[in-house]
């Protein structure tokens, strides 16, 4: 408020200085100059304070909004992350997260300030002539309309090319990141990818510059209009001053008031235009934050079934007590399950009818793309079946409390994560609550076969892994895999363990050791193993052969070999390779 009112005072004091000088009143001139000095000092203080408030509020807001965006991301299901449209939304929201909300606040301040100044200047000007005020207001309108139009065009342009921007970002990532550096160099991809990057970048550049040129032409033409009005007024006032109808001080005041009033009005309309633009961008953010997983909606509408968050070890007992009507023996049942990935027409899995009794060790084999990983994604409820149902211990998987379900299942995927954190965290994150329990982490490490990996690290468990941060130690593919296996073993309460080809990077000796141990550790647990290596697969109690999304054979190794079908064929092929 002060920074809006003070310039008015300064303009008025300016007039008094000129009047005093004209009247040859040196005492008065002194006093008014001193007064102006004070006012200017106060104005500087007010401006600084305002910018401080903006900065602090901006930092707070940026943080809060980023947290809200990431919170939303953690609450959403896997399928959102595998959907490119959603990714676009997430990116758009993140890109604008820290700047736009702050800008809305800054502009609100600006609008308030401009309105107050404008009213003040208009009041000062009204003393001279009403039409000067009207000219002041009217001349700024076309410029603002143009500005609003161009900012919404820029918004549409950016939104429309969002998928292309993502390609641009991706190319940037591939060209500048250590994961891809080996291949980029060996395949000589640098130039080719850079050319693609340049193509998209140049297209954006042409669009942006065309828009900027159009906007600049308009801005120039319209600012000429404002300048013309100013000089029109100036001439009129100068003439009346020459006729003696206006004092020199009044002329100065009138001109300052007109010029600054014009600026205040333009900045007011500019702020409105900016607000419109900010709101367009904010709608991206709100659009993203409003994404609600449909299953969450559905679950919220259902009566609360998940009211028994028993610890994992008690899970079975709790379920037995909960559901006396359950006839089914404990285990996992797929009942005519079919699944299509969102947006895909083909079935990734269809008509799956399988029962895995508690304690069984099951192996799944099949060619690439057969649907093995999809089976695991359904079992772990990362996705829900498109048709059919999955039961765990006689209870629909969807009715299980999510946290409880997660605690019962330990999984290692083929594309497991390599966290750029310490070794302790890389293992301990398998059970976040036990990150500080060194003994438990030690047990998990020995079950995962990672003792040698960790003991070779200079700072042991506290050594950062990966190359992203200082002093990080990069591991080999097989070593990372052992760490990931250990992470799964952190879930000591888990009674279902799933290994989805996590040993592909291990050497034969290490793999054999892992499976021997795995067999032993999972003797009384359900274990599901996906592997392309038959020596490993044949250890399982039962083997499922999946082809094109269907179970085509199942049985023990011996019975499948005897059947002389698909499994026997694949086994023979691999055996020949081994001989
Ligand atoms: N996120 C996804 N979105 C759309 N389709 C997918 C997705 N993931 C897998 N698919 C498709 O579903 C089918 C089954 O894939 P799945 O990953 O289950 O195969 P897999 O048997 O585990 O193969 P691999 O041995 O290569 O790991 C494939 O045709 C694949 O193209």
Distant-in-sequence, close-in-space partners of 44: CB < 8 Å, separation ≥ 6: none
H or E element at residue 496: strand 496-500
> 550 - beta bridge partners?
547
Q: Tell the residue nearest (CA) to atom 30 of ligand 1.
A: 369
Give the per-residue pLDDT at 391. 93
φ/ψ of 76, rounded to 5, equals: -85, 155
Q: Ligand 1: which of 373, 383, 501 to mutate, most ligand atoms within 8 Å of CB?
A: 373
Same fold, 2-291 and 329-578: no
167 CA to centre of ligand 1 in angstroms = 23
Residue 192 near residue 113, CB atoms below 8 Å = no
Distant-in-sequence, close-in-space partners of 276: CB < 8 Å, separation ≥ 6: 148, 151, 152
Q: Tell the residue nearest (CA) to atom 29 of ligand 1.
A: 369
Question: Relative to the CA of 371, which ligand 1 atom is closest?
Answer: 18
Q: Is the CB of 369 under 6 A from ligand 1?
A: yes
Class assignment of domain 2-291? Answer: mainly alpha
Residue 229 tokens read as: 């009005």
Q: Tell the residue nearest (CA) to atom 28 of ligand 1.
A: 369
- Tokens 């990672």 label which residue? 450
Q: Is the CB of 345 under 6 A from ligand 1?
A: no
CATH of range 329-578; options 2.30.30.100, 3.40.50.620, 3.30.450.90, 3.40.50.300 = 3.40.50.300
Q: Is the CB of 82 under 6 A from ligand 1?
A: yes
Q: Is the CB of 83 under 6 A from ligand 1?
A: no
372 CA to centre of ligand 1 in angstroms = 8
Q: Is the CB of 315 under 6 A from ligand 1?
A: no
Q: Is the CB of 370 under 6 A from ligand 1?
A: yes
- Tokens 């959603």 label which residue? 86
Q: What's the CA angle centered on 46, arms 41 and 52, to 5 degrees?
A: 130
Give one word for 93, left, alpha or beta, with left for phi > 0 and alpha for psi -120 to 50: alpha
Q: Ligand 1: which of 369, 549, 570 to mutate, most ligand atoms within 8 Å of CB?
A: 369
Q: Tell the residue nearest (CA) to atom 17 of ligand 1.
A: 373
483 CA to centre of ligand 1 in angstroms = 25
Give the per-residue pLDDT at 298. 47
Question: Rounded CA gap, 373 and 352, in Å?
Answer: 14
Residue 509 near residue 492, CB atoms below 8 Å = no
576 CA to centre of ligand 1 in angstroms = 28
- Tokens 């192996």 label which residue? 363
Q: Ligand 1: which of 337, 338, 341 to mutate, most ligand atoms within 8 Å of CB?
A: 341
Question: Rounded CA gap, 27 and 521, in Å?
Answer: 98
Give the per-residue pLDDT at 443. 93
Exposed e or buried b for every residue in 540-552, given b needs 16+ CB within 10 A? Answer: bebbbbbeebbbe
Pairing between β-strand 496-500 and β-strand 395-396 as defined by DSSP bridges: unpaired
The closest alpha carbon to 123, from 5, 249, 270, 246, belongs to: 5
**What is the DSSP code string of 300-355?**
HHS---------GGGHHHHHHHH-TT--SPSEEEEEEEEE--TT--S-SEEEEEEE
Q: Is the CB of 502 under 6 A from ligand 1?
A: no
Sheet holding 349-357, edge to edge: 349-357, 331-339, 387-392, 395-396
Q: Ligand 1: which of 83, 347, 363, 372 to mutate, most ligand atoms within 8 Å of CB?
A: 372
Give the per-residue pLDDT at 1. 65
532 CA to centre of ligand 1 in angstroms = 15
Q: Is the CB of 531 under 6 A from ligand 1?
A: no
Give the three-class secondary structure for 272. Answer: helix
346 CA to centre of ligand 1 in angstroms = 11
Distant-in-sequence, close-in-space partners of 328: CB < 8 Å, separation ≥ 6: 391, 393, 394
The closest alpha carbon to 340, from 404, 276, 387, belongs to: 387
The closest alpha carbon to 133, from 15, 237, 257, belongs to: 257
Question: Relative to the CA of 377, which ligand 1 atom is closest?
Answer: 18
The per-type count for the chain, helices as H runs and strands as E runs, is 22, 10
340 CA to centre of ligand 1 in angstroms = 10
Question: Rounded CA gap, 493 and 479, in Å?
Answer: 25
Question: Relative to the CA of 341, which ligand 1 atom is closest?
Answer: 4
Question: Rounded CA gap, 27 and 25, in Å?
Answer: 6
Question: Relative to the CA of 414, which ligand 1 atom is closest?
Answer: 27
- The pLDDT profile of the chain, 579 residues, written as one tens digit per residue, is 666 778 778 888 888 888 888 888 888 889 999 998 998 998 899 889 888 888 888 888 888 888 888 888 888 878 887 777 777 778 777 777 777 878 888 888 888 888 888 888 888 888 777 777 788 778 777 877 887 788 888 888 877 777 788 888 889 888 888 778 888 888 888 899 999 999 999 999 999 899 889 988 888 888 888 888 888 888 888 888 888 888 888 888 888 888 888 888 888 878 887 888 888 888 878 888 887 765 544 444 444 333 333 344 444 444 444 444 455 788 999 999 999 998 889 999 999 999 999 989 999 999 889 999 999 999 999 899 999 999 999 899 989 998 888 888 888 887 788 898 999 999 999 888 888 999 999 999 998 889 999 999 999 999 999 888 888 898 988 899 889 989 988 888 888 989 888 777 777 777 777 777 777 777 788 999 898 888 888 888 999 999 999 999 999 999 999 999 888 888 888 777 653
Give the three-class secondary structure for 465. Answer: strand
Q: What's the CA angle centered on 501, arms 500 and 503, to 5 degrees?
A: 130
500 CA to centre of ligand 1 in angstroms = 13
188 CA to centre of ligand 1 in angstroms = 30
Q: Is the CB of 372 under 6 A from ligand 1?
A: yes
Residue 577 near residue 534, CB atoms below 8 Å = no
412 exposure class (CB count in 10 Å sphere: 0-12, 13-18, 19+): buried
412 CA to centre of ligand 1 in angstroms = 16
Domain extents in the chain: 2-291, 329-578
Q: Is the ipTM, as predicted for this complex, more than 0.85?
A: yes
Give the per-residue pLDDT at 532. 83
The alpha carbon of 438 is separated from its chain's Cα centroid by a whole number of angstroms, namely 33
From the CB of residue 396, how many other CB atoms can be counted at a distance below 10 Å? 12
Residue 410 tokens read as: 């330990």
Give the per-residue pLDDT at 388. 93
Question: Rounded CA gap, 285 and 96, in Å?
Answer: 8
Question: Relative to the CA of 374, which ligand 1 atom is closest?
Answer: 18
243 CA to centre of ligand 1 in angstroms = 89
Q: Is the CB of 371 under 6 A from ligand 1?
A: yes
pTM for the model:
0.72
CA distances 190 to 71, 401, 422, Å, are 37, 49, 32
**What is the DSSP code string of 29-75?**
HHHHHHHHHHHHHHHHHHHHHHHHHHHHHHHHHHHHHHHHHHHHHHH
């Amino acid at each position: 408020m002060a920074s809006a009112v003070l310039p008015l005072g300064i303009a008025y004091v300016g007039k008094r200085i000129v009047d005093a000088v004209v009247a040859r009143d040196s005492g008065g001139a002194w006093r008014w100059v001193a007064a102006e000095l004070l006012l200017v000092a106060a104005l500087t203080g007010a401006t600084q304070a305002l910018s401080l408030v903006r900065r602090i509020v901006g930092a707070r807001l940026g943080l809060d909004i980023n947290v809200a965006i990431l919170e939303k991301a953690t609450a959403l299901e896997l399928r959102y992350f595998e959907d490119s449209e959603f990714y676009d939304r997430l990116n758009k929201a993140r890109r604008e997260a820290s700047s736009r909300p702050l800008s809305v606040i800054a502009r609100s301040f600006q609008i308030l300030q401009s309105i107050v100044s404008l009213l003040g200047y208009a009041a000062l000007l009204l003393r001279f002539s009403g039409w000067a005020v009207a000219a002041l207001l009217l001349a700024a309108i076309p410029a603002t309309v143009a500005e609003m139009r161009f900012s919404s065009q820029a918004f549409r342009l950016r939104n429309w090319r969002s998928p292309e921007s993502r390609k641009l970002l991706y190319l940037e990532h591939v060209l500048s990141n250590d994961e891809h550096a080996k291949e980029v160099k060996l395949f000589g991809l640098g130039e080719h990818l850079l050319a693609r990057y340049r193509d998209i970048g140049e297209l954006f550049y042409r669009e942006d510059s065309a828009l900027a040129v159009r906007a600049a032409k308009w801005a120039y033409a319209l600012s000429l209009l404002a300048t013309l009005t100013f000089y029109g007024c100036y001439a009129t006032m100068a003439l009346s001053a020459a006729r003696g109808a206006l004092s020199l001080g009044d002329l100065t005041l009138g001109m300052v008031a007109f010029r600054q009033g014009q600026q205040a009005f333009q900045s007011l309309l500019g702020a409105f235009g900016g607000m419109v633009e900010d709101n367009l961008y904010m709608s991206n953010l709100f659009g993203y934050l409003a994404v609600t997983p449909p299953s969450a909606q559905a679950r919220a509408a259902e009566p609360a079934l998940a009211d028994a968050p028993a610890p994992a070890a008690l899970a079975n007992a709790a379920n037995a007590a909960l559901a006396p009507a359950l006839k089914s023996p404990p285990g996992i049942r797929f009942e005519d399950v079919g699944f299509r990935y969102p947006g895909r027409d083909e079935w990734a899995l269809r008509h799956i009818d399988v029962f895995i009794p508690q304690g069984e060790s099951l192996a799944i084999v099949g060619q690439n793309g057969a649907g093995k990983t999809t089976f695991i994604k359904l079992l772990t409820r990362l996705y829900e079946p498109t048709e059919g149902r999955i039961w765990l211990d006689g209870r629909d998987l969807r009715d299980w409390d999510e946290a409880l379900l997660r605690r019962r299942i330990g999984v290692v995927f083929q594309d497991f994560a390599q966290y750029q954190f310490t070794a302790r965290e890389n293992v301990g994150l398998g059970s976040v609550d036990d990150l500080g329990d060194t003994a438990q982490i030690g047990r998990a490490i020995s079950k995962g076969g990672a003792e040698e990996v960790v003991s070779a690290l200079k700072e042991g468990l506290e050594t950062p892994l990966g190359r992203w941060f200082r002093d990080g130690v990069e591991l080999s593919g097989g070593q990372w895999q052992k760490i990931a296996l250990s992470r799964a073993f952190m879930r000591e309460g888990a009674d279902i363990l799933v290994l989805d080809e996590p040993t592909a990077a291990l050497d034969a000796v290490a793999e054999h050791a892992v499976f021997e141990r795995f067999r032993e550790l999972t003797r009384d647990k359900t274990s599901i193993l996906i592997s392309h290596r038959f020596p490993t697969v044949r250890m399982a109690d039962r083997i499922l052969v999946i082809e094109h999304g269907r179970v085509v054979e199942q049985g023990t190794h011996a019975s499948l070999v005897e059947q002389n079908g698909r499994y026997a064929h694949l086994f023979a092929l691999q055996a020949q390779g081994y001989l």
